[in-house]
Amino acid sequence: MKLYKGKLMISALSIAAITTACKQKPQQQAAKPAEQPIAHKPAVSDRTRLIGLWLDEGIKTEKGEQIAYQIVGQGDKNYIQVITFTGKKLDVSDRPEISPSAMPVKKVGEKYISLQDTNQVFVIYKGGDLLIHDETGMVARCKRML
């Protein structure tokens, strides 16, 4: 019986020690400096690059805005998008955003062919102008701005 009481006493002491340890306040650790948020730097393939910008002097929007075409590259993909502006000043980024209305194009030499309609072809002419073609032939010649 003494052996049994000894085991019971050890078990009671063990439970008391565990309970006391759980109730103790954790030791204060040195405060860690607040972590600074890390800015996400896009992968090289995610970054855009401006290939060129051309003014279409032949047309304007219903609101009288001027129209320009921008060819933007992103990784191995290219897009052409329309930009409208008023006045004589146009602010353009060398890493422009691709608008939801941008048309994906495939580069073949100096031509950019629409992936949505292969009859739409954009050619960068020797002098830098952008020639726009459709199934009827050349529809516009746009002056290079950048």
pLDDT tens digits, one per residue of 72-86: 999 999 999 999 999
Structure tokens given for 25: 């306040």
State pLDDT tens for residues 58-115: 999 999 999 999 999 999 999 999 999 998 888 888 899 999 999 999 999 999 999 9
pTM of the model: 0.68
Q: Which domains does the chain have, with CATH numbers?
A: 44-144 (2.40.128)
Cβ proximity of 114 and 103 under 8 Å: yes
Q: According to the model, what pLDDT value does residue 28 have? A: 52
Pairwise CA distance, residues 131 & 123, whole Å: 5
